[in-house]
Amino acid sequence: MKSFIDSINFMLDTPSIVDENLIVIKLKELLLLLSKSENSSSINSFVNALFTPYEFAHPYKWASSVNHSEGHGKQLSTTNCDERACQTVMGNIRERLMHYSDKDFHLANTVTEGMHFGL
């Protein structure tokens, strides 16, 4: 893992060498490293949820700090809701989905209640 982090630091220090192909390779390398870790089952669940549109409402399936979650609101793109309420170990959080794109692998949300943890 140290050599992977060193290679990322080198890329950040030398952005002129970075292109889309290198980013894809490094992402694949990271996923491979994570899949071999002792937490691989929760990491695999998290990665799968990133590419499953209906999982926005259910972070409790992949985030160990979320005890319960419910989706609300209207459908947005291919998600089944545009809001979610989560009961977490650090309090309750409500979020609203601002943008979702399967095609671009893009999700943007805003926290409307509670603390934002960068999930």
**Across-strand partners of 76?**
79
Q: What is the pLDDT of residue 55?
A: 67
Q: According to the model, what pLDDT value does residue 16 have? A: 92
pTM of the model: 0.48
What is residue 91's predicted lDDT score, i.e. its pLDDT?
Answer: 85
22, 29 Cβ separation under 8 angstroms: no
Contact 75, 49 (CB under 8 A): no
Ordered by start, the domain boundaries in the chain are 53-119
Q: Are 55 and 62 in contact (CB under 8 A)?
A: yes
Question: Do 35 and 44 meet the contact criterion of CB atoms below 8 Å apart?
Answer: yes
CA distance 1 to 56: 29
Q: Which residues of the chain have pLDDT under 50?
A: 118-119
Q: What is the pLDDT of residue 59?
A: 76
Q: What is the pLDDT of residue 52?
A: 66
